[in-house]
Amino acid sequence: MNLKNDFPWLVKNKYIYFDNGATTLKPNCVIDAIKKYYVDYGTNVHNLDSKFCYQTFKAIQNARQTIASIFNAQAKNVVFCSGATEGLSLIAHGLAHVLPKNSEVLLNDFEHASNLIPWQHETKSKHFKLKFAKLQSKKIEDSIFNAISSKTKVVSIALTSNVYGNMVDYKTLVTKIRKKWKDIVIIADAAQYIPYKNVDTKCGIDFVVCSAHKMLGPTGIGAVYVANKWLNILPPLRFGGGMNEVISHSSFTYAHEFEKFEGGSLPSAQILGWQAAIKYLNKVGREKIYQHGLELKKYFVKRAKEIKNLIIFNPNTPLSIILINYKKVHSQDFANWLGSKGFIVRAGLSCAKLSKHPLKVDNFVRVSLYLYNTKQEIDKFINTVKKFKHGDELSTII
């Protein structure tokens, strides 16, 4: 796919961008949509006091429906938040108030900090008790299902690991869980999944979270899908204007449905930018993007075998995330050297620090590819690494 001219960052910069797992670049249509809000709309979405202001309200309504489509859901079930991190915090905070004390939450070692720390925080007040599935099977969904017991109240899982690059067969997993344990709360962290595929919440998922910036959209905006049964039960995380209906000196009542969770002014420009990103991805074709990533990964792995000192930890996972190390070189030093040669990658454990246990490695360099990356970029990467000699990494720190 030749999409370079759609992305001003790629036109302006000579760097090769291989850090899409952290955030993606933004196409012109997203930047234009953000600018359009500030130039053509400009008003607060809560202001309905004139025909002009009503334009903003209608535009956000329309965007909410577009964003709901990635969950196969209705607009009323979409709650805007700052991203997957806030979304998971909202869920953990809310469930801590409605589930019994010491409810068991099932996680696993591939979870991002956003799907770990909120639950850990709530354990301090004994709201939750954490359990970690042992990843003994090649299929993570089998490990999750086998770890569920009668004590389990919540299963929270990333549909794709931002480290390993696995992809969970969530429909099969959810169906199996629902047949045996109907009341377990099922949460999907889809931050790394939705850039490639929609999530069909009709299978029985209770909550889904994602971030716009992982899928060509703006930073600072994301969403939580909230199933109907939880809209009126779950308490909000943010309190203030817009999320209330009646206020007295001593109390207030909640607004209805998604409005209850959206205290304060919405980031309207970011929401409209996200809508533009979704339309762009749909136009290119989500399955086409996914297959392009798979093709790039296979090509990268094939070419990487030409370098005897280059280690690949996940050559066969079904997402265009590749974990590498250069023998006897620390990942951070190697990433810095790559940066000096014009490649933007990520070193460390990418905010999934417990992944060192199943992977049996405590640091690596992550190469994460997306729709605008090419085989020519991979060729340049491999040919550059072929020239690397032990000790070259010191050139970036001396």
Q: Are residues 211 and 319 in the same domain?
A: no
Say what the pLDDT of residue 136 is: 67
Domain end (from 253, 282, 311): 282
Read off the pLDDT of residues 320-351 as tens digits, 9 standing for 90 and up: 999 999 999 999 999 999 999 999 999 988 88
What CATH number corresponds to the domain at position 60? 3.40.640.10
- Res. 398: pLDDT tops 60: no
Q: Are residues 222 and 269 in the same domain?
A: yes
Domain end (from 265, 282, 299): 282
Q: Which tokens belong to 122?
A: 């709530």
**Separation CA 137–CA 57 (nearest Å):** 49
Residue whose structure tokens are 């196409």: 27
Residue whose structure tokens are 């790629």: 10
How many structural domains does the chain have?
A: 2
Rounded to an integer, the average pLDDT of 62-77 is 98
Rounded to an integer, the average pLDDT of 125-153 is 90
Q: Are residues 305 and 259 in the same domain?
A: no
Rounded to an integer, the average pLDDT of 11-37 is 98
Q: Are residues 210 and 61 in the same domain?
A: yes
Per residue in 93-113, is it b (16+ CB within 10 Å) or e — as a string?
bbbbeebeeebbbbbbbbbbb
Q: What is the domain range of residue 339? A: 4-26+285-396
Q: Are residues 227 and 328 in the same domain?
A: no
Q: Are residues 177 and 50 in the same domain?
A: yes
Q: Are residues 70 and 108 in the same domain?
A: yes
Report the percentage of the chain scoring pLDDT > 70: 99
* Residue of 181, 81, 75, 162 whose CA lies nearest to 353: 162
**Separation CA 104–CA 128 (nearest Å):** 6
Q: Are residues 237 and 98 in the same domain?
A: yes
Rounded to an integer, the average pLDDT of 179-186 is 96
What CATH number corresponds to the domain at position 299? 3.90.1150.10
Res. 72 pLDDT band, cuts 50 70 90 = very high
- Res. 312: pLDDT tops 60: yes
Q: Are residues 141 and 190 in the same domain?
A: yes
Q: Are residues 263 and 386 in the same domain?
A: no
Rounded to an integer, the average pLDDT of 16-26 is 98
Domain end (from 262, 282, 302): 282
- Res. 247: pLDDT tops 60: yes
Q: Are residues 182 and 300 in the same domain?
A: no
Say what the pLDDT of residue 352 is: 86
Chain mean pLDDT for the chain: 95
Q: Are residues 214 and 293 in the same domain?
A: no
Read off the pLDDT of residues 365-377 as tens digits, 9 standing for 90 and up: 999 999 999 999 9
Q: 187: which strand partners?
A: 156, 207
Say what the pLDDT of residue 137 is: 59
**Separation CA 221–CA 237 (nearest Å):** 16
